Amino acid sequence: MHLIKIFMVTAAICLNTAQSVAQELTQEKQILFTYGDFYPAEVSGYEILVIESAHFDSEDIAVLKQNNTTVLGYISLGEVNEAAAHFPEIKDFTFGKNEIWNSHILDIANDETRETLMGIFDYNIKKGLDGMFLDNIDNYTEFGPTPGKKEALIDFLQFLNVVYPNIHLMQNAGVSIIKDTHPFIKSVAKESIASDYNFQQKKYQLRDEAIFQQLLKELKEAYDEYEVPVVLIEYAETRKLKKDIKHRLAQTPWPYFIGKIDLQGIPEKG
């Protein structure tokens, strides 16, 4: 009897260890965010791949879709960078400037702005992408610069779903308005719950433990209530910090990506 108990305990420990390792491998392997240029044939095996689609034509997208499950392009629904191709079209309808990213705040209620954004969606969907990663959605929360435009955002998301019924929209941030957006999105991404990049000092670091737990709690509550799949995005440049981030994220069930803040390269595994 004692031998059976010992065997059962040992087996349970081994199983838990195997499950833990499998979870870590699955969590990290599932997601890739990279906005730089690369050879499409060299990137494969990801469940979700988020790219800057301007680097790729329809043939490239076809290769990426053959080798990866879901391929999304990047677009900001809250801001427009001065380097963006569509900036000249909508610059006169923006509100203010985000100096960190050299971008301007969008007015998504503006007809010209919506028409320009729809053109970008149309171009990317026709090129073969499965959908789009929607950046700067937190602009429409009470903590952002345009909370009064939230209803216009919801209307735009609803319209996208009518025009493209099968589109995959991944919302970035804006956890507090998932209650409004969840009918129109397929997933939500959240940056830096475990890490905390300091833009002024250009320093990679861990987030304060108490703040990490609070952000985790808020995300879990939204996940439990609205059942929207979650993706985590973290930033690190050293193996030590990456290891510390992984240790924190082990308590979550969600897939994650860890890379450098500019998201230009493809991080090595490990």
Rounded distance, CA 121 to CA 115, Å? 10
Report yes or no on 177 lying in a domain: yes
Q: For 200-220, how does the pLDDT look when each residue is reduced to its tens digit (9 = 90+)?
A: 999 999 999 999 999 999 999
Q: For 60-114, how does the pLDDT look when each residue is reduced to its tens digit (9 = 90+)?
A: 999 999 999 999 999 999 999 999 999 999 999 999 888 888 899 999 999 999 9
Taking the complete model, does pTM exceed 0.85, yes or no?
A: yes
Report yes or no on 237 lying in a domain: yes
CB-based contact 186:171 (threshold 8 Å): no
Report yes or no on 16 lying in a domain: no
Report yes or no on 150 lying in a domain: yes
Question: Does pLDDT of 259 surpass 50?
Answer: yes
Residue-number span of the structural domain to which 158 is assigned: 31-259
Give the pLDDT score at 20.
39
Report yes or no on 238 lying in a domain: yes
| Sign of CA pseudo-dihedral 95, 96, 98, 104 | positive
Report yes or no on 176 lying in a domain: yes
Which CATH number belongs to the domain containing residue 103 in this structure?
3.20.20.70
Report yes or no on 13 lying in a domain: no
Report yes or no on 15 lying in a domain: no
Angle, to 10 degrees, between the axis of helix 111-127 and the axis of helix 150-163? 40
% pLDDT > 90, the chain: 84
Confidence of residue 222 (pLDDT cuts 50, 70, 90): very high
- Look at the chain and report how many structural domains it folds into: 1
Q: For 137-164, how does the pLDDT look when each residue is reduced to its tens digit (9 = 90+)?
A: 999 999 999 999 999 999 999 999 999 9
C-alpha distances out from residue 193 to 80, 154, 249, Å: 25, 25, 9
Give the pLDDT score at 28.
55
